[in-house]
Chains A and B, each alone.
Chain A
Amino acid sequence: MWSWVAHRVTGVAIFFFLLVHVLDTSLVRVSPEAYNEVIATYKNPVMGLGEAGLVAAIVFHAFNGIRIILVDFWSKGTKYQRVMLWIVLGLFVVTMAGFLPRHLMHVFGGE
């Protein structure tokens, strides 16, 4: 139940970011200056934390999505769905433990 709610909430958040992300990337077609100016805002600490949250949402949605596929298509999927949720959360923690220090270093480490 909660994994279902989290899947919806992360999905909606990712969708809205995707709309904004295509628009900001489209600025490469306007001018190098326009693109660089807007992308510079992605490098400030507040946005850096936002990106960490976005990546967390994507990583959960990805691993939980694979769990949903296994529940649907693997004959033992429904039997192991609860175990697989713990595996999803474990993989989420491992992935974020790899990503966060490196990303925060890029955001707060200076040039």
Chain B
Amino acid sequence: MEWRSGLIAFVFAIATLLAAAAQNPLAGNAKAAKAGEYEFRINCALCHGLGAHGGGRGPDLTRAKKKYAHNDAEMFQIISNGIPGTAMPANGTNGQGVGMTDEEIWQIITYIRSQEVKAPANSIGNPAHGKELFYGDANCSLCHMINGKGGRFGPELSEVGASRTRAAIVDSVRNPSHHLAWGLAEPTKEFPQEYESVTAVTADGKEIKGVTLNEDSFSVQIMDTNEQIHLLEKDKLKSFHTSRESAMPKYTTDTLSDKDLDDIVAYLVSMGAK
């Protein structure tokens, strides 16, 4: 084949591929949705939960409005290739389950569409008041940052409203130790920070209290309460102790009412949707 006709054939093949991926050939097909449910359980439920309502890690996919995928074709691309910089892996690389065929991906999309709730379930709460609380009386911003504003000691929360369910966020505030670095499976282990509480005493007797940023059997990186980062070798420490009690204070209904918490969650969800 000469060079030019080869190029034309190549362009045509790409165009055909793109056209094929532009719409879901199984859209609205109930049988495909059922098959997609099986595939979803095998490949997606680990993070997104049974029924696509979201797990501790993956967003609730029953929300009609998705942060990254605005149509079926984009959803297909995301399932195939993952979302760089997030825990969402490319097809076949999550270590659980198998890689999916194109047909199986379309089945999953059909299933997700069949589960969507059109009315947003998150309309409760006043995000403007939530923002006031976040940066004010609730003291969230002392440790947490959103879009560059706030503290570094706790997890960065710009995306949390998109990536966690409402229930998971509420639970994290009411019972902070519950979800602490829980059950990280290998494919998603590359979370930058695990937030175990840690106390280390150096050889010269200096006590460092904070959270672990990164740890292996021989070294640890700690951020202390003043946001100073300490890079330590464990065998040079006098003592080293980690705890699964979160450094975050537990917010009871006495310190933060359900209504105020709803407002904060509404603020986080509104920021996550941006």
A and B associate in one complex? no
Residues of A within 8 A of B (CB): none
**Residues of chain B having any CB pair with chain A under 8 Å:** none
